Amino acid sequence: MKIACIGAGPAGLYFAILMKLRDAQNEVTLFERNPSGTTHGWGVVFWDDLVADLRANDPDTAKAILDRSFCWTDQVVAVKGGKPAHGGGTGYGICRRALLDILRRRAAELGVTIRYECEITCPTQLPEADVIVAADGVGSYLRRLHEEEFETRIEPGRNKYVWLATPRVFEAFTFGLVPTRAGWIWFHAYGYSRTMSTFIVECSPQTWKGLGLDTLDAERSLRLLESLFEDQLEGHRIVSHGSTDERLPWLNFRNLTNGRWHFGNVVLLGDAAHTTHFSIGSGTRLAMQDAIALANSLHENQNVQAALAAYESERQLAMLRPQREARLSAAWFENIPRYAALDGPQLFALLLDRRSRLVSHLPPRLYYALYKAKRIPLVRVLYRRAAMALEQLSGLQRKLLHP
């Protein structure tokens, strides 16, 4: 089978590896606009569920990824001036560049052709292929070309965020919140190597403007953020990829869904097909799980159209839960002022439960009382029923709004 794939991110590279592992005769060519070894972002988190999938599909890649990963333990919420609250848990972090490097080497070893510095801006650039995979991220060129056919919907998030890093190694997954004269600002941080941590800063657009982050250059913005988060940074700097006189790359998260994932012989993979808010740390895992499903489906079905249809229905179903949880998690962070007056343990409990629809529907202190009472079996049953009823109502509302 001949495959042309746009994008050598985690989705495109892992898909190419699996296609070669399923059948060494498959011809896979990847087109990547960036030079080899460059990428956006810093470290990403993942958990044992991805490790299990990687081990089942390519133990060599799984081992290489685990060898380069950092294991963080515990989750911490620290509100400036308060006592940090701890919530347990463990997971992994890996540098995005290291992950791509592992995947790139493995793909090359298996005979995948990767054309770096080759941006696809017109379909005629692509060779004849049985399948064309759009693994070119949230701004996917091929998807935009057929937006109507894919039934693309993009809803921008309200908050501003910027993906930064720091040499302060956060051994625990840490959320740090700071009240300012312009409103709350907070970070999500976790170690991804022995020397670096991801440091994502988020705030409302009002706070962003109120603090001048919309106009300050990168250097001054970084120094301002360092002073706001000085308690947690312990004297370490915050760093950005770009040059210091430009502005920091603040964005609004794009919530993306597609009613259809294939059109003709073009199929969407990873962020080109769907996004999930970064606060649930799942986009890379979901992109790699898409790759597994598409490789399996193409391997098992002789007919390409049948393979693409089977892949689409399997993955659309699998995405329902993470997309719902991601929307709720993003909304929780958009409503931080509602929760920020809680004490450490209360705030932590509601942060942990942010994927439940009940959190936003009950007064925060009442929700906390319910959270504590969930130890009682009857309360647990009532809680689940109420959450399910709210879920159904909201599903109905979405269907009415977007028939």
| Residues found near ligand FAD in the complex (CB under 6 A) | 6-12, 31-34, 41, 44-46, 119-120, 135-137, 141, 163, 200, 270-271, 278, 281-285, 287
Report the residue number, 125 or 397, with the smaller CB distance to ligand FAD. 125
Residue with Cβ nearer ligand FAD (33 or 80):
33
User: In the numeric block, which tokens belong to residue 33?
Assistant: 């606009």
2-6 and 131-134 as β-strands: parallel, antiparallel, unpaired?
Answer: parallel
Residue 23, CB half-sphere, CA atoms under 13 Å: how many? 12
Length of the chain: 403
CB 6, min distance to ligand FAD, A = 5
Which CB, 11 or 267, lies closer to ligand FAD? 11
On whether the CB atoms of residues 70 and 92 are closer than 8 A, the answer is yes
Kindly give, in sequence order, each residue whose CB lies less than 8 Å from that of residue 28, ignoring residues fewer than 6 positions away: 3, 5, 16, 19, 20, 107, 112, 113
Q: Would you call 205 helix, strand, or coil by DSSP?
A: helix
State how far the Cα of 288 lies from the Cα of 14, in Å rounded to an integer.
Answer: 6
Q: At its nearest, how many Å lie between ligand FAD and the CB of residue 163?
A: 4
CB of 221 to ligand FAD, least distance (A): 16
User: Could you give the 3-state DSSP secondary structure of residue 335?
Assistant: coil
- Encode 31-61: b = buried (16+ Cβ within 10 Å), e = exposed: bbbbeeeebebbbbbbeeebbebbeebbeeb
- Least Å from the CB of residue 81 to ligand FAD: 27
Closest CB 336 distance from ligand FAD, rounded Å: 17
Nearer to ligand FAD, 7 or 364 (CB): 7
Q: Which is nearer to ligand FAD, 136 or 312 (CB)?
A: 136
CA angle 355, 358, 364 (to 5 degrees): 100
**Least spacing, CB of residue 128 vs ligand FAD, in Å:** 18
Nearer to ligand FAD, 34 or 296 (CB): 34
